[in-house]
Structure 1
Amino acid sequence: MEKINNITWHQSTVTKKDRQLLNGHKSCVLWFTGLSGSGKSTLANAVDYQLYKQGFRSYVLDGDNIRHGLNKDLRFGNYDRKENIRRIGEVAKLFVDSGQIVSSAFISPFRKDRDVVRSMFDDQEFIEIFLNCPIQVCEDRDPKGLYKKARQGEIPDFTGITSPYEIPDHPEIIIETNATTIEESIHQIFAYLKGKKIL
């Protein structure tokens, strides 16, 4: 990517710490990663709703929704996937800087791309949540009919079928979504956030 000269980062008068103090909690990104059908969007929205009910400032960045706007120019090849995650990382960083808890629901199949995003954040601000669900269960759910299309050759480079998914090495949270209820999963995430004094 070509470097653009003659630009300087403008430091805000109101700092991230100021915004966190106003909100009454720290800010972070909850980075939900896993195969299609593992429950990323469902769980991210469920967690967001509980945060909202309890008065915390939060927002959800969903993979499909982002591709309707910010990333609508990207396809699904390796470069496009990499750029997709880079842009989301930058957007998530802005949300964290604004003092909010942002949930990011993206397959984000490659470790290197997730590690690049992690490097954008301060310590304990990037919380990788691996939704560990067997591909057969994800395929049986197939909420969007994508696995069926991939098996029929209609979707090239489909993660888990014709494109790899690289399991996180050291995620902060692992949730077995084929054996854990949404309520139990929410409890697990909130317990982590409270344990780290984010909430």
Structure 2
Amino acid sequence: MMSASPDNRIVLCDNHSNVLKTSEPKMSSLFDVVVSRDGRFVAACGFTAEVFVYEVTFDRENVFQVSKRAFDLKGHDSGVFAVSFNASASRAVTVSRDGFWGVFDTDVRYAQGQDAGILNKGEWPQLKGASADRVRLAMSPSGESLEVSCGFTLKIFSSEDEHKDFPGLHDLHGDQRILVIKYSPCAQLEGSCGDHHVRVFRNIPEYHSQVVRLSKVR
């Protein structure tokens, strides 16, 4: 388990609430902290333009060993609002105040000094000048699509085609801003909540990414 607080403290705990590790990333303000679905990585982002990724290791008896800085996600020109991993933690996505999102290859040999390279980068001008508390981010389990919300608007992107512009979904929850966005395990559906109802949508950008990816291997 992981918790984060406004004083820039990240605390890792086991299932019995015993504290395993406390970290304090040096990024002035902490905007978002996430744990990868396999529990291997903890990523933190905030006022700085880099995302810090920590590796959490256990021994064969599942006893905690160490949590240490593994690599950074670089490529933005301003603070990073949020970060998310795909199901296998082989990809990560970020959104920044500079108005861009970035998809990164995190399946790297960081112990040998290999950096996480950027795979794709796209723009959503609505992110420029936004505040971190109004932004939400999720990456599909496959890593082939991502969804970003800013205030009352949800925007979905293809991870494989930054030029494809899918229409934004506006005022999904009336006068309530979007609070949570999630993908289904199959990545075919995505949902948002902010009022008394959950809105569910077909994930068309996911199919588009599959077509683009298959076209590249011909």
TM-score normalised by the chain length of structure 2: 0.22
Q: Which has the higher helix share?
A: 1
Q: Which has the higher strand share?
A: 2
Flag the structure with more relative contact order, 1 or 2, with Cα contacts below 8 A and sequence separation at least 6: 1
TM-score normalised by the chain length of structure 1: 0.24
